């Protein structure tokens, strides 16, 4: 897609600091890193969400993300990392081309991911689990 910044990076019309590339994926440093070494892993095919990707790409994506995470940790000296993916505007997705963030972390680095947990009323959890399970096996 010509208006997608990641597609433009894949086609070579926008520069990036490439870390890894094969026929299906490209990994490069984020230009607005949370921490040095923060990289993005994208499929070369344009898909907006994780749920839009073909299974053969999905099967390769997580092992590749793990390989990249190990490389980021070794290269930066970070002790830990976050693997982050957003899907749609409500989730915070800003570039509408599926991508995984690999963000190196260290104790006291100042980054705080906060989640305000909710709870279920009586019977709600079981009913929702059943509805989801029906969709999975559907």
Extents of the domains making up the chain: 5-113
The pLDDT tens digits for 83-108 are 999 999 999 999 999 999 999 999 99
- Average pLDDT, integer, range 96-124: 94
Q: Residue 115 has what pLDDT?
A: 85
Residue appearing with tokens 């490209």: 26
- Average pLDDT, integer, range 57-68: 98
Q: Residue 41 has what pLDDT?
A: 98
CATH superfamily of 5-113: HIT-like (3.30.428.10)
Residues involved in catalysis? 99
């Amino acid at each position: 897609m010509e208006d997608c910044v990641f597609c433009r990076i894949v086609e070579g019309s926008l520069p990036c600091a490439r870390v890894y590339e094969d026929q299906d994926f490209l990994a490069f440093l984020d230009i607005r890193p949370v921490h040095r070494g923060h990289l993005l892993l994208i499929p070369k095919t344009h898909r907006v969400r994780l749920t839009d990707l073909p299974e053969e790409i999905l099967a390769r994506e997580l092992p590749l993300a793990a390989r990249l995470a190990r490389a980021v940790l070794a290269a930066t000296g970070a002790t830990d990392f976050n693997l982050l993916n957003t899907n749609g505007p409500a989730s915070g997705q800003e570039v509408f081309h599926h991508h995984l963030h690999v963000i190196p972390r260290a104790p006291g680095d100042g980054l705080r991911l906060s989640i305000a947990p909710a709870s279920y009323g009586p019977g709600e959890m079981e009913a929702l689990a059943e509805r989801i399970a029906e969709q999975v096996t559907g």
